[in-house]
């Protein structure tokens, strides 16, 4: 991606839509507005404001990068979910824990998924232990059709080693369900069966919504007469095509906090720091490591469902600019997690409302200039002091939980709710508030690069460790180029060995990630 190319970065959150226009390292213009029910309408309005502030030629815009939390929000809120058939290919093995085990009861009831256990599968070596039961699979597809299934999740034992088993199964299912969206687990998760299956079902449940939302994105830019390739931010802060986002919406579930962390790094020039993004409802605390968000090493939960999907290590707490301040007789009892959200401008005291929020406390304490300060002049000094103490105590506790060392580290403060922080924070060497901090997530989207990654078993005994790692690095680079990266810019930024000590072989699970700049002129699907 050339340094002279103009880029449009957008973050579509549950409350706000943020936009920046950038050329090279320079932010040319920015805008912020509320997200609308039809996300396309909100994009048209806020992007229009940003274009007016820039006053440039929109034909100069070479690429559009969008980060969104629309899909993960829908799953958390249990809305707009497709009817799913979960097909597990593992019999006579892999049946000890049935599909959807461990899912929240209310989510299982809402999803009302049809589940099927089918014969077939392979060992970790890739050798079949049972043939695919095609008759049972065809019968399952017919039953799913009769149940009104819209989307299918297919999971087979050790599918990352033998993806052809799931591909054969999908071909059989398509004969009966030609219009259904089909998600194959080999393209979604890691080695573990149950967590990978969970991620596949989550993805399948969001497939219809993803097509609708991404189509709305594309139409919005057609309405704006912006003829540039559109990319979507994924969980690791890199880009995928719109077509990939429609097929794999789960790839975008953590794009919001990831873009904030990447944007914070760009705006300050730091490569290692704590990042606190305070919005209207929550504060997201993440860790910047080597210029990228640190990934969690533990199981990840999406809307209460355990997956082995790769996600940034982010801690969210219920503290934001719209958080309710709960009071008793002459004292503050708690802050949040309830929030007035985007209704702050009508509910907050300083805006003429009748709800005491953390923003009102910040205005009364003199750390923010918003609304009418006279409307909070009656708040007692002791009560304000207690609230400010509690705000900082909650943030300090969260920061302490995200850190891996007691040594003080720099902290980058971003987001519209950053007005809540008015004092030094314990465990922090310095607090940085960069320019454009309020739209850091859109900046993170605009600067995103293209990634490629592999998560496979390599035979160290046969190949030797050095050759196996070289192959893993080469495979990750090839995936990045395939995704649209400039081959000359691709570099491996992460490679992890996970010895499979429970297996009698020299196989080692290797995770490798490579990133590169977007190749100028690439046409996103």
Q: Can you give the three-state secondary structure of 263-319, one letter per residue?
A: HHHHHHCCCCEEEEEECCCCEEEEEEECCEECECCCCEEECCEEECCCCECCEEECC
What CA dihedral angle connects 235, 164, 117 and 133, to 10 degrees?
170
Residue at 191 is within a domain? yes
Task: Report the pLDDT value the prediction gives residue 116, as an integer from 0 to 100.
Answer: 95
d(CA 333, CA 384): 12
User: Do 191 and 212 belong to one domain?
Assistant: no
201 and 246 in a single domain? The answer is no
Q: Give, rounded to a whole angstrom, the gap between the first and last alpha carbons of the chain.
A: 17
Of 384, 403, 437, at which residue does a domain stop? 437
Among 506, 432, 71, which Cα is nearest to 245's?
71
Tens-digit pLDDT string for the chain (525 aa): 444 479 999 998 777 789 999 998 899 999 988 777 778 888 999 999 999 999 889 889 988 999 888 888 788 778 889 999 999 999 998 888 899 998 988 888 888 899 999 999 888 777 888 999 999 999 999 999 999 999 999 999 888 878 889 999 999 999 999 999 999 998 887 778 888 999 999 999 999 999 999 999 999 999 999 988 899 988 877 888 888 899 999 988 878 888 888 899 899 999 889 999 988 778 889 888 877 788 776 777 787 888 876 678 888 888 888 889 998 887 899 887 888 877 788 899 999 999 999 999 999 999 988 899 999 999 999 999 999 999 999 999 999 988 888 888 999 999 888 889 998 899 899 999 999 998 998 999 998 888 887 877 788 888 888 998 999 999 999 988 887 788 988 888 888 887 665 555 667 878 888 888 877 655 444
Q: What is the DSSP code (8-state) at residue 234? A: -
Query: Which tokens belong to 419?
Result: 């007005």
Which residues make beta-bridge pairs with 108? none
35 and 151 both lie in a single domain: no
**Tokens 């922080």 appear where?**
421
Instruction: Please indicate, yes or no, if residue 264 is contained in any of the structural domains.
Output: no
Tokens of residue 53, six digits = 């502030």
Query: Which three-class secondary structure string do you get for 315-383?
Result: EEECCCCCEEEEEECCEEEEEEEEECHHHHHHHEHHHCCCECEHHHHHHHHCCCCCCCHHHHCCCCHHH
Domain co-membership, 376 together with 422: yes
Give the per-residue pLDDT at 504: 54
Q: Looking at the 3D structure of the chain, how many domains does it have? A: 4
The count of residues in the chain is 525
- How many CA atoms are closer than 13 Å to the CA of 334, on its beta-carbon side? 5
Asked whether residue 419 falls in the same domain as residue 477, the answer is no
One domain, residues 321 and 469:
no
pLDDT of residue 5: 78
**Same domain for 113 and 23:** no
pLDDT for 417: 84
Task: Look at the pTM and tell me if it is higher than 0.85.
Answer: no
Q: Are residues 351 and 286 in the same domain?
A: yes
Q: 420 and 275 in one domain? A: yes
pLDDT at 434: 92
Residue 90 belongs to domain spanning: 84-205
Q: What is the pLDDT of residue 525?
A: 40
Same domain, 143 and 223: no
Burial 374-413 (b: 16+ CB within 10 A, else e): ebbeebeeebbebbbebbbebbeebbeebbeeeeebbbbb
User: Rounded to the nearest 10 degrees, how much is the dihedral formed by the CA atoms of 343, 348, 353, 356?
Assistant: 130
């Amino acid at each position: 991606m050339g340094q002279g190319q103009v880029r449009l970065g957008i973050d579509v959150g549950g409350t706000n839509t943020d936009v920046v226009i950038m050329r090279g390292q320079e932010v040319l213009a920015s805008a912020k507005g509320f997200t609308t029910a039809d996300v396309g309408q909100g994009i048209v309005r806020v992007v229009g404001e940003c274009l007016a502030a820039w006053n440039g030629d929109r034909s100069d815009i070479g690429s559009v990068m969008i980060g969104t939390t629309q899909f993960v929000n829908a799953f958390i809120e249990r809305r707009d979910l497709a009817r799913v058939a979960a097909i597990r290919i593992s019999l006579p093995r892999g049946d000890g824990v049935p599909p959807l085990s461990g899912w929240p009861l209310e989510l299982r009831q809402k999803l009302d998924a049809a589940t099927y256990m089918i014969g077939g599968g392979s060992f970790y070596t890739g050798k079949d232990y049972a043939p695919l039961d095609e008759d049972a699979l065809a019968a399952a597809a017919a039953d799913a059709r009769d149940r009104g299934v819209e989307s299918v999740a297919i999971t087979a034992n050790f599918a990352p080693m033998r993806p052809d088993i799931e591909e054969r199964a999908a071909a059989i299912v398509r004969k009966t369900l030609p219009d259904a969206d089909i998600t194959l687990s080999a393209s979604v998760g890691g080695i573990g069966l149950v967590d990978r299956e969970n991620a596949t079902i989550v993805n399948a449940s969001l497939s219809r919504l993803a097509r609708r939302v991404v189509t709305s994105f594309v139409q919005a830019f057609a309405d704006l007469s912006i003829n540039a390739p559109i990319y979507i931010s994924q969980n690791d802060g890199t880009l995928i095509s719109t077509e990939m986002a429609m097929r794999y919406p789960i790839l975008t579930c953590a794009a919001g906090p990831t873009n904030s962390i990447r944007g914070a790094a760009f705006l300050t020039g730091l490569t290692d720091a704590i990042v606190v993004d305070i919005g209207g409802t929550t504060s997201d605390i993440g860790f910047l490591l080597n210029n990228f968000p640190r990934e969690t090493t533990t199981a990840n939960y999406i809307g209460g469902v355990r997956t082995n999907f790769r996600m940034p290590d982010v801690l969210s707490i219920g503290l934001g600019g719209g958080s309710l301040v709960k009071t008793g007789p002459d004292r503050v009892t708690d802050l949040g997690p309830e929030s007035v959200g985007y209704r702050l401008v009508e509910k907050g005291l300083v805006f003429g409302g009748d709800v005491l929020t953390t923003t009102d406390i910040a205005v009364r304490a003199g750390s923010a200039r918003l609304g009418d300060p006279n409307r909070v002049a009656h708040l007692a000094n002791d009560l304000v002091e207690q609230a400010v103490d509690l705000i900082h105590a909650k943030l300090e506790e969260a920061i302490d939980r995200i850190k891996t060392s007691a040594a003080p580290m720099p902290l980058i403060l971003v987001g519209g709710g950053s007005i809540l922080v008015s004092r030094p924070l314990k465990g922090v060497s310095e607090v940085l508030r960069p320019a454009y901090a309020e739209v850091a997530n859109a900046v993170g989207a605009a600067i995103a690069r293209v990634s490629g990654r592999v998560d496979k078993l390599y035979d160290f005994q046969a190949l030797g460790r050095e050759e196996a790692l070289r192959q893993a690095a080469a495979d990750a680079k090839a995936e990045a180029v395939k995704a649209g990266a400039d081959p000359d810019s691709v570099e491996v930024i992460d490679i992890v060995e996970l010895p499979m000590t429970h297996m009698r072989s020299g196989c080692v699970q290797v995770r490798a990630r490579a990133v590169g700049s977007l190749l100028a002129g690439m046409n996103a699907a």
